[in-house]
Amino acid sequence: MLPIDAAAHSSRWRRRHPVDKAVLGLGLTVLAVSLPPWPGAALVLVTALVVLLGPAGVPARRLWRAYRVPLGFCVTGALTLLVQVGGEGGWVSPAGDGPLRAGELLLRTSAASLGVLLFAFTTPLSDLLPRLVRAGVPAPLVDVALVTYRMSFLLLDSVRRVRQAQAARLGHTTRAATWRSLGGLGATAFVRSFDRAARLQSGLAGRGYDGTLRVLVPEARVSVRFTALSVALLGALAALTLVLEGPLS
């Protein structure tokens, strides 16, 4: 199991309905994209961090390990705004307003990423996917996503075991041996994935599969109080941004 999935299953908010957490997490993401970068996105970023480390109870080290990957993409995208191609300065030259635009983009994207992580760290996919059918998503599409999600952990475990076996047999001692091991790893993972898929299909057919996977979903109700507090928080952030935008700009 991936660290973010393990954190979601052990989250303090695991028993809350996904709608509650979607209103807060995805609402913060929408505010980060729609409000002015300064001070709107900055306020959203700080708020998301406080909620993640405080009420949601996400460990700081685990949050950083998950956040550094999207943060790297955010930084990479912002760096491209520091230069311009063509123009009076030559083929490649520094952009006049590049630092300002790069900072705004970095604020927006990093804050929006934290909003998505807030939802991901508190909502396991196994709780979310079955409920999508009630929201109107076609059941076969949800079944494919659910099976892919569960099979991915088996595939990752197989890859880990094969790599350990290759390392124990000195398969990574030289560059040539490493490439041979990688080729063998890819071939083994490909064969095992097809074998697992065939066995899964046979097992479902033997159990009278009729096109719908029926799974147990933990009982949860939408909390009016939690949702109302989330909406109030989002509204307060939007109002505070409008109040501070003039003096700080």
DSSP 1-33: --HHHHHHHT-TTTTS-HHHHHHHHHHHHHHHH
- To the question of pTM greater than 0.95 for the whole model, the response is no
Question: Could you tell me if 136 and 105 lie in one domain?
Answer: no
Q: Give the torsion through C-alpha atoms of 153, 156, 160, 166, to 10 deg.
A: 140
Instruction: Specify whether 36 is located in the same domain as 140.
Output: no
Judgement on whether residues 154 and 117 belong to the same structural domain of the protein: no
What does the pLDDT look like over 95-141, one tens digit per residue? Answer: 777 788 888 888 899 999 999 999 888 888 777 877 777 777 777 78
Query: In this structure, is residue 107 part of a structural domain?
Result: yes
**Rounded Cα distance, 38 and 53, in Å:** 23
Non-local (6+) Cβ contacts of 117 within 8 A are 4, 25, 48, 52, 63, 66, 67, 70
Q: Do 27 and 103 share a structural domain?
A: yes
Domain membership flag for residue 214:
no
Structural domain boundaries, residue 87: 3-123+221-248
Both 197 and 225 in a single domain?
A: no
Residues 69 and 112 in one domain: yes
Q: Looking at the structure, tell me whether residues 15 and 103 fall in a common domain.
A: yes
* 158 lies in some domain: yes
Residue 243: inside a domain: yes
Q: Does residue 119 sit in the same domain as residue 140?
A: no
Residue 211 in domain: no
Instruction: Say whether both 79 and 140 belong to one domain.
Output: no
pLDDT at 232: 92
- Which pLDDT tens digit goes with each residue over 172-186? 888 888 888 888 888
**What pLDDT is stored for residue 77 in this prediction?**
87
Closest to 116 measured CA to CA, from 75, 71, 81, 149: 71
Tell me, what's the pLDDT at 89? 63
Q: How far apart are CA 126 and CA 99, in angstroms?
A: 42
CB 15 within 8 A of CB 221: no
Q: How many domains does the chain have?
A: 2
Alpha-carbon Rg for the chain in angstroms: 23
Task: Supply the angle between the helices 18-34 and 125-132 in degrees, to the nearest 10.
Answer: 90
Residue 213: band (very low, low, confident or very high) from pLDDT cuts 50, 70, 90? low
Cite the DSSP H helix spans in 35-59: 42-53
Neighbours of 27 (CB within 10 A): 20
Structure tokens given for 13: 């908010």
Whether 21 is covered by a domain: the verdict is: yes
Question: Helix, strand, coil shares of the chain as percentages rounded to 5?
Answer: 75, 0, 25
Residues 6+ apart with CB under 8 A from 24: 51, 118, 119, 230, 233, 234
Q: In terms of domains, do 116 and 137 share one? A: no
| Residue 249 scores a pLDDT above 70 | no
With respect to residue 62, please indicate whether it lies within any of the assigned structural domains: yes
For the chain, percent of residues with pLDDT exceeding 90: 10
Do 181 and 229 lie in a common domain? no
Residue 197 lies in a domain: yes
Q: Are residues 94 and 33 in the same domain?
A: yes
pLDDT at 182: 86
My answer on whether omega of the bond before 39 falls inside 30° of 0, hence cis, is: yes
Cα separations in angstroms, 238 against 32, 103, 145: 10, 20, 35
